[in-house]
Chain A
Amino acid sequence: MADLVFVLLSILTVVSALIVAGNSSVIYSAVGLLFTFMGVAGLYVLASADFLAATQMLVYVGGILVLILFAVFLSNRISDAKLSNPTHMRVPSAIVCIALFGLMSNAAVTTEWAVKTNVEYAPTTAVLGRLLMTKYLLPFEVVSVLLLAALIGAALLSRPESAKAALKPDMEEGQ
């Protein structure tokens, strides 16, 4: 039963990821992304990582994806723009990607994975909270500095440029 659920979730994740990468319309890609995120959340549930699954839904589906959709809706004409990278160097990048894919698949197949039998479906939130306050206290604090820096940076870059903050005249005028 669990195996069947795993296979179905994996198919959902991979197929919708392919739609994201291959589709030329931003809207379709965004909807594909929605299903990828949900598939990954399902995999988390299957691995008994309930908190992670909830976070995945809240942050990625609820936050990031909605943000992307809003950005698409609010910007003019982006919905009919053909964005899916019409790149040059298609052949070399395809070779690199296929080689990487082969390498990773080889690694995935040849590795003897440590298999956990009898997955126990119990709430993990309390354990995670405890670990964040003890063993992983430093990463937790560093992340707060990181977020503060990101916040300052975002505010700085999106603030309308005032006359005072603009470049001083002697940097702008040419010689």
Chain B
Amino acid sequence: MIAIPFDSSQVMQGIASIAPEAILVCTAITVLMADLFLAEDGKWLLCWLSLAGVLAALGEVYLLGSSRIVGFSGMITSDGFGMFFSTVVLSACALVLLMATGWSERAGTQKGEFYSLILMSTTGMLIMAKGTDLMTIFLGLETLSIPIYVLVGFQRSRMTAIEGALKYFLLGAFGAAFMLYGMALIYAATGTTKIPVLVYMSVGGGMAGSSLFLAGMGLLLVGFAFKVSLFPFHMWTPDAYEGAPTLVTAFMSAAVKAAAFAALVRVAMLLFPGVSPAIGPVLWVLAVLTMTVGNISALGQNNVKRILAYSSIAHAGYIMVGLVAGDLLGSQAALFYLLVYAFMNIGAFGVLMLISQKEDDGYDIHNLRGIGFKYPVLGALLTLFLVSLAGIPPTGGFIGKFYLFSAAVKNGYIWLAILGVLNSAASIYYYLRIVVYMYFMTPEGEVVTPHTPPFGYALALCACAAVVLVLGMIPGAVLTMAEQSVLSLLM
């Protein structure tokens, strides 16, 4: 028996590279254990405990900073890129947990399992965003997905929840299988799963001509497309978003999308240049179709949750525009947009959750009638988030779209930018339709009485609104941060 050599400095470096993830997993297990010992009226503590864990992980991310730490023989890298997406994912998670404080009891999500599943899913997201090996990316994807499948079906007494969870689970499993198949083909063609080595082989090693490598890349892209809900792999999105408890919907739309795009941006920036003649047009078509199908399907919807689900498909299309552009500016814009999108979408879902009295029917657009003038703060907040989603200044959504489309123009994709702007204009219709219902439609009977938000909930909404407004007016610092993180990726 040969002893395995033990290198303590490497072990420490490895632990440092996954410190935020380790904190999250420890918190998840603590929450699960604490759930056993807490009395029913003490369960509110679990939410705060989870929130503390997420904030500690966020603190650890900033302690590690953007310096490059390669851990576990190149499986995972903590760098500026990972830091940016860790920030997005952890802030989204923190906002959702903050909303859950005092709200979970109402939505029936005050169990320990709910929080520990959210924390484990967040762990998977961080691993996916930081993974520099296809194997790590795939395992991160699975670790983020499986808890989400369960969370979507959390309220088992609702038919829509079961339907959404089952559809999401089956299609998600297909997506994961496609991705794994793609990774296996890439491994067969190159003999490695390490992204830095793959970059070297695809750019210098003439892999662009290998049909096996191309097929692998294509299937990998299909897997990602399932997760970020690009057309034609978006079918699960409206049902899963509608069926999930709205807290989870907000979490899914912001954090899952950010994490999946993190890995996609890493692969796209590093590996797609080697195969760009083949994959460039595919990305172009995917971006255009995703935007268009998402927006057109949203036009006819009456359930606000479904409107936002289709809008999230359209937004995946806008973000793809940045990837089609394929340069520093495009990726920078995509990163910035993902950050803004997380805040504006969580904000929008947050306000809607207060207004609707119950799941399913509660999210009918008619329930919004008369809310605007009777409850001016809620009305103003929802209007702000919707205006930002539509991409109208002075909000962060406008800056994000502006940079995305200008990146497309700068790289010569004039038609893509034009189609994007047209789509954006079409989307204004359904966002403003919600606003019109709030302000200009007379209610049939009583105006719905929204719930009074608990303290943490109000704080989370204010934070979302502040970020959306601040990023709309002074985006400089975050844009620089996005640029730095893309640069750290290319290094």
Contact = CB atoms under 8 A, between A and B. Distances in A.
Interface in B59-107: 71-73, 75-76, 105-107
A166 B157 CA distance: 8
B108 interface: yes
Number of chain A interface residues as a range: 35 or more
B25 A145 contact: yes
Contacts of B40: 164
B139 to A, nearest CB: 4
Interface stretch (A39-47, A48-56, A65-73, A149-157): A149-157
B4 A130 contact: yes
A103 B215 contact: yes
A171 B191 CA distance: 54
B111 interface: yes
Interface string B275-295: 000000000000000000000
B107 A171 contact: yes
Nearest to B40: A164
B480 interface: no
Interface stretch (B248-256, B353-361, B429-437): B353-361
Contact of B215 (A104, A114, A168, A175): A104
A172 B212 CA distance: 53
B146 A150 contact: yes
B147, B210, B361, most chain A CB atoms within 10 A: B147
Contacts of B73: 134-135
A167 B108 contact: yes
Interface string A140-169: 001101101110110111000100111110
Contact of B121 (A110, A138, A149, A175): A149
B150 A142 contact: no
Given A104-B215, A111-B210, A171-B107, A138 B155 contact: no
Given A104-B215, A156-B113, A171-B359, A142 B4 contact: no
Interface in A65-110: 103-104, 106-108, 110
Contacts of A165: 108, 111
Contacts of B117: 149, 152-153, 156
A157 B156 contact: yes
Q: Mostly helix, strand, loop or mixed at chain A's interface?
A: helix
A157 B150 contact: yes
Interface string B107-145: 110010100110011011001000000011001101100
Contact of B146 (A108, A153, A173, A174): A153
A174 B157 CA distance: 15
Interface in B345-380: 357-359, 361
B116 A152 contact: yes
Given A107-B212, A152-B113, A166 B4 contact: no
A58 interface: no
A133 B145 CA distance: 26
Given A153-B149, A174-B358, A175-B448, A146 B4 contact: no
Contacts of B106: 168, 170-171
A142 B136 contact: yes
A71 B185 CA distance: 33
A66 B154 CA distance: 28
B75 A149 contact: no
B143 A149 contact: yes
A161 B157 contact: yes
A143 B120 CA distance: 12
A103 B139 CA distance: 27
Nearest to A146: B143
Contact of A167 (B14, B76, B149, B157): B157
Contacts of A8: none
Contacts of A164: 40
A142 B448 contact: no
A149 B136 contact: no
Interface in B153-174: 153-157
A108 B210 CA distance: 10
Nearest to B162: A157
Contacts of B72: 137-138
B342 interface: no
B127 A107 contact: no
Interface of A: 103-104, 106-108, 110-111, 113-114, 130, 133-139, 142-143, 145-146, 148-150, 152-153, 155-157, 161, 164-168, 170-175
6 contacts: A136-B75, A138-B72, A142-B136, A145-B124, A161-B157, A175-B448
Query: Nearest 8 A-B pairs (CB), nearest first?
Result: A153-B150, A138-B72, A107-B211, A138-B75, A111-B212, A149-B120, A142-B139, A167-B108
Given A153-B147, A166-B157, A172-B358, 11 more contacts: A110-B212, A111-B210, A138-B18, A139-B75, A142-B124, A143-B139, A156-B111, A161-B157, A164-B40, A167-B157, A170-B106
